[in-house]
Amino acid sequence: MGERISKRIGKQTVRIERPISILSCGSVAGSKEGQGPLGGRFDIVLEDDKNNEKSWEKAESSMVENAIKTAINKAGMTADDMDYILAGDLLDQSIGSTFGIRAIDRPFIGLFGACSTFGESVAVGAMLIDGGFAKRVVAAASSHFCAAERQFRFPLELGTQRPPTSTWTVTGCGAAVLGNADNAPFIREITMGKIVDMGIKDANNMGAAMVPAAADTLLAHFRDTGRNPRDYDLIVTGDLGYVGKELLIEIVGNEGFDISKNYTDCGIEIFDRDTQGTDSGGSGCGCSAVTFAARFYDDLKSGRLKRILFMPTGALMSKTSAQQGESIPGIAHCMAISHE
């Protein structure tokens, strides 16, 4: 029968065998993100978050198109060089992605993992290349504060108060071109996550809702690979924020893994909490995507970081599920990305 599952390590992890490189990244960020700590590192910062479009949703699509085109340009390629576009976002029926990608004439694989979508698209893209189905792909994810707030919570015009556990949806799109090449950084091991639901129902405390899934994937990764936190220069989650970060350190600490020394979260990196009023930190599909594209990618490429474990996190809820009294299931996908 020729069964071959040699790329699997343990129960939940796979190893990318060939050198699958992140050839380039592109990032488009909103004006608030541009005023934050990473402001100087984004490829494009919007002057106005409507980006000359008629709606926030259309503005999100324009960011998707521009981030993907920027990433492809920076790789010295054209859209024709991409075998697949893999992307997704938070908007109903993923219109942020689909209407942005409509103008790019390439096969499209739409993904949904809520705010973990960037991890999902990079991971699936790397597997498709390593499997021999693509030479190059572009993977992307986006979110828009204004579009997300009115869809998931309340229209901004209401001026609803935000509790301190709440996170701030990032306006931005990050895109990465992946290909089989010898240029750092490389995608090595991938641990796709399970849906984990511990019954949390507070849509203003997404960090806490996602932590059980993040812990589940992280522990699976350590178990499958035999590694521990010290094997990574940095462990980077997607959008757990300050509240979620402390919880994750505690939960995996209780299982014997100390991540307190070398762990951060994209939602913490992207905003300055003290001056930007972003409470527990950034969130949304765009959070891990633009923070990776603008910061961690460069550090891995230059060798300032040798090896990171990158884990975008997602909360799998909708306004309908919340209105029907459902809890918020979480998911997280992680991957080892190395300079060597």
Binding site for a copy of itself (CB under 8 A): 1-8, 12, 14, 17-19, 54-55, 57-58, 83-84, 88, 90-95, 98-99, 101-102, 105-114, 120, 124, 127-128, 130-135, 151, 180-182, 192-195, 197, 316-321, 324, 326, 329, 331
Tell me whether strands 263-265 and 234-237 are parallel, antiparallel or unpaired: parallel
Residue 160 dihedral angles phi and psi, to the nearest 5°: -60, 140
Question: Which CB sits closer to a copy of itself, 4 or 40?
Answer: 4
> 184 by DSSP, 3-state: which?
coil
Cα dihedral 281, 284, 289, 294, rounded to 10, equals -40
**Nearest distance, CB of residue 105 and a copy of itself, angstroms:** 6
Please state the separation of Cα 220 from the chain's center in Å. Answer: 19
Amino acid identity, residue 298?
A: D
**Nearest distance, CB of residue 334 and a copy of itself, angstroms:** 11
Question: Which CB sits closer to a copy of itself, 27 or 97?
Answer: 97
Question: Which CB sits closer to a copy of itself, 40 or 132?
Answer: 132
Question: Which CB sits closer to a copy of itself, 235 or 316?
Answer: 316
Question: Which CB sits closer to a copy of itself, 64 or 170?
Answer: 64
Question: Which CB sits closer to a copy of itself, 39 or 110?
Answer: 110
**Nearest distance, CB of residue 197 and a copy of itself, angstroms:** 5
**Nearest distance, CB of residue 329 and a copy of itself, angstroms:** 5
* C-alpha atoms less than 13 angstroms from C-alpha of 42 in its C-beta half-sphere: 30
Q: CB-based contacts of 115: which residues, under 8 Å, 6+ apart?
A: 90, 143, 210, 238, 239, 283, 284, 285, 287, 288, 312, 313, 314, 315
**Nearest distance, CB of residue 320 and a copy of itself, angstroms:** 6
**Nearest distance, CB of residue 113 and a copy of itself, angstroms:** 5
- The owner of tokens 């996908």 is 333
